[in-house]
Amino acid sequence: MKFRKRIEITKRGYELLGTYTPGLIKAKTISATLEALSPFATVWFSARIINELMNGRRQNVIILYVVLVIGIHLMFSMIKNVMDKIVNDKESGMWNYFNKIFSDKQMSMDYVDLENPDIQKQRQKAEENLFMFGNGLGQLIWDTESLVKVIVGIIASVSLTASLFLSKSGNAIMDSNLWMLAILVVMILFGMVYHFLTQKENTVFEQWTKGTVWFNRAFMFYGHELYDSTKRAKDVRIYGQEKIADREMQKMEEHNESDNAFLAKMSSCQGLLYFSKGICNALCYIFVVAKASSGAFDVGSIVQYVGALTELVGYVGLLTWIFSENKIYTKHLEKLFAYLDIPNNKYQGKLPVEKIFFCNNGENDYDIEFRNVSFKYPGSDTYVLKNINTKLSIGKKQAFVGTNGAGKTTFVKLLCRLYDPTEGEILLNGIDIRKYDYEEYMKLFSFVFQDFKLFAFTLAQNIAADVNYDKEKLEECMKKVSFYERYLSMEDGPDTYLYKDISENGVEISGGEAQKIALARALYKGTPMIVLDEPTAALDPIAEAQVYEDFSNMVNNKTAIYISHRLSSCQFCDEITVFDQGRIVQKGTHAELVKEANGQYYALWNAQAQYYI
């Protein structure tokens, strides 16, 4: 990667950190600047004090130097402590901020991309680099301190050593400007050696990390996830699967042993780095002492020049290390940015959704039509829906039925624009839904999908999907879904946390209770159309019967689409649409369809009815 490109990526990395971790880089910069300046302040004042002791011994001057150096260090220390506290606070939540970067991207992405395996693999790689090894943004944060120290340190070192080459001793050899060139050449050679060794160490490290991806995944699964009490613990105990985990953990121990070769190579590189640095420091000592012995400057200045030169050697080495590090983390940042730059290809219309919820007479005043709609999922050649032509019966309760994979849920995904049709169009009041403003269009619908999710927020926040809520409306929705009695038993009422992820007093809810809360959330949104995908799958028979009984009251005069495998639930619907192999094969009432002995609905109904006779 070209150096200019690396600078652009690094700059963008800092911009991203400025957005998600505001104040962290600024605090780190101030702290690192003070830390870098501190030893130079000590060196400069020490040289002044020694020179004064060797010559005039003016007590007032010595006391002034001592007070100044103590005062400067005290001020540096106070400011640095404040900055370090800010840095620690920010870094403690750093990984949460990084998670939010991915969460924000996920929320802004087209749904089609969320289910794209190639894009999810791209995200996984970016996350692994960042969270497993700290590559990318983590390195950028940690290396910021070193970068600031290098800049400040080199400037300070050069400032304190400039007079070394300007001072004259009367010895033509020692006063020659060639020494400055020699020092410069030594520093460049040292930097080249340091860079070579650092590159070699980084190469070894990258080879090692390639083998640790599997190790980290396996460790996280077999060392933690496998025994998660809420997910797999019952199966592990019943089937004795811990034996598999023990074997895999043994493999990981063998993997650890193979790491020793890599660690040995890295250690040898480190040893050579310290050796080359030691040689440079020794040469600096020899030159400074030789010039001092020629009478070029006082004894105290030896402390200043030796201290500044050795610091310069260290910072030259650190500069080459930062350069190598930058090459590594910009490569990972490039992959992160490639993921973050995935465009949203879904067409975003701008037409406002007019006030089409209800007419003045209370009747619904909108229509939705599927016209010649066909659909196949990205990367697949198989049509899930084929040539669908239908109008939704507005203001009525209707059921979608069919075998698994018949296309019912996919139909709903197209309706709410999680996907766009491969062929054909969906019309709202005669206009392609892609031309409407998406957020306004979505205000027409509430959904309860099979795989709905609740969060470890309060009950009210889960239902209202907001921190602010209407308590009266909230309770009315809970009554409609038969959750009100359970709600009354919660000590904190609507502010009761679900689950214990956030609050120790959080309540654990059953699958059926969660489904009722999801239903209440759909009702609370107050949209003219509600879609329920297997809304009673987790309910017991009594609760399910209660939901069926109250369903008309629940949806009131809304348009309701009810997807279910339990055909007994279809009897209370005004209309039933039967899907089979991606097509609509029947449409009518339960009474009408059950009479068609050769129809798909008749076959489905009788297949279930035999178990209830």
Question: What does the alpha-carbon distance between residue 595 and residue 602 come to, in Å, rounded to a whole number?
Answer: 7
In the predicted structure, residue 257 carries a pLDDT above the cut 70: no
When the candidates are 3.40.50, 1.20.1560, 1.10.8, 1.10.260, the CATH number that belongs to 3-340 is 1.20.1560
Crossing angle (nearest 10°) for helices 24-54 and 59-92 = 160
* pLDDT band for position 358 (cuts 50, 70, 90): very low
Question: What does the alpha-carbon distance between residue 501 and residue 506 come to, in Å, rounded to a whole number?
Answer: 8
Distances (CA, A) of 289 to 41, 109, 186, 305, 440: 21, 65, 17, 10, 79
Which amino acid, one-letter code, is at 244? I
Averaged confidence pLDDT in the chain = 80
Distances (CA, A) of 42 to 27, 65, 171, 597: 23, 10, 30, 98
Closest CA to 599 of 608, 609, 611, 587: 587
> Which tokens go with 304?
């200043």
Torsion sign (Cα): 32, 35, 38, 39? negative
Within the chain, all domains assigned CATH 1.20.1560 are found at 3-340
- Threshold 0.85, pTM exceeds: no
* pLDDT > 90 in the chain, percent: 26
Note the pLDDT tens digit of each residue in 87-116: 998 888 888 888 889 888 888 888 888 878
Burial category of 313 from C-beta neighbours within 10 Å (exposed 0-12, middle 13-18, buried 19 and up): buried
Note the pLDDT tens digit of each residue in 432-446: 999 998 888 888 888
* pLDDT band for position 549 (cuts 50, 70, 90): low
Note the pLDDT tens digit of each residue in 440-498: 888 888 888 877 888 889 999 999 988 899 999 999 999 888 889 999 999 899 999 99
Architecture of domain 368-454+509-609: 3-Layer(aba) Sandwich (3.40)
Note the pLDDT tens digit of each residue in 144-175: 999 999 999 989 988 888 787 766 665 666 65
527, 558 in Cβ contact below 8 A?
A: yes
Average pLDDT over residues 489-510: 88
The 10 Å CB-count burial string (b at 16+, else e) for 408-443 is: bbbbbbbbbbbbbbbebbbbbeeebbbebebeebbe
> Which tokens go with 401?
């039925």
Within the chain, all domains assigned CATH 3.40.50.300 are found at 368-454+509-609
